[in-house]
Amino acid sequence: MATAWLLKTEPTSYAFDDLVRERRTAWTGVRNPQARRHLAAMRPGDPLVIYHSGQKAAVGLARVARAAYPDPAAGAAGVCVDVEAGERLAAPVTLDALKEEKAFAGSPLLTQGRLSVVPLGAAQWKALLALGRG
C-alpha cells in the first residue's frame, strides 16, 4: 500500500463537501514545517482521509492527484498538493474512537493535536476504514 495520510481541515473554512463539489483542489496554506515535509513526501495516488477539526472526526476519503509543488499562498518555503475527492465515509470516525484503537497508539494524530498533515500506517488505515463503514 502507498503511504496514507490524514489531512485536517476546519469545515467552516473548507469542508469535505466543498472538495466533493469541486472534485479537485490545491491543498494550500500549510504552515507547520513538519506538516510541509509530509506534503512534500506525498505521491500521486496516495490515499487520504479528510478530517474535520471542529467535529474531531474523519469524514471522507480522497487521493493525492498531484505531487508537491510551490504553494502560491505560502511564500518560498510553502508546498501544496492537489487533492481529488473520493467517497464519504458511511459513518464519521471520531477522535475518541481512534483513541480506542490499538493501531493509533503513539500516532502523531493523538500526540501532536495541532499537526494538520499526519501519516497513517497500513494498520491505522485499515482500522480507520473499518470504523468508517459504520
Residues 10-24 have a mean pLDDT of: 97
What CATH number does residue 24 fall under?
A: 3.10.590.10
Please tell me the total count of domains within the chain.
1
Q: Strand 4-9 relative to strand 57-70: parallel, antiparallel, unpaired?
A: unpaired
pLDDT in tens, 53-106: 999 999 999 999 999 999 988 777 899 999 999 999 999 999 999 999 999 999
Exposure pattern of 40-73 as b/e (b: 16+ CB <10 Å)? eebeeebbbbbbbbeebbbbbbbbbbbbbeebee
pTM above 0.85, yes or no: yes
Return the beta strands (E) in the chain as ranges.
4-9, 24-27, 47-52, 57-70, 79-94, 117-120
User: Alpha-carbon distance 134 to 114, whole Å?
Assistant: 27
Residues 106-119 have a mean pLDDT of: 92
CB of 70 closer than 8 Å to CB of 58: no
Residues 35-61 have a mean pLDDT of: 97
User: Alpha-carbon distance 82 to 50, whole Å?
Assistant: 13
Domain hosting residue 56, numbered range: 4-132
* pLDDT at 75 (0 to 100): 74
* pLDDT at 83 (0 to 100): 98
Cell of 75: 511564500
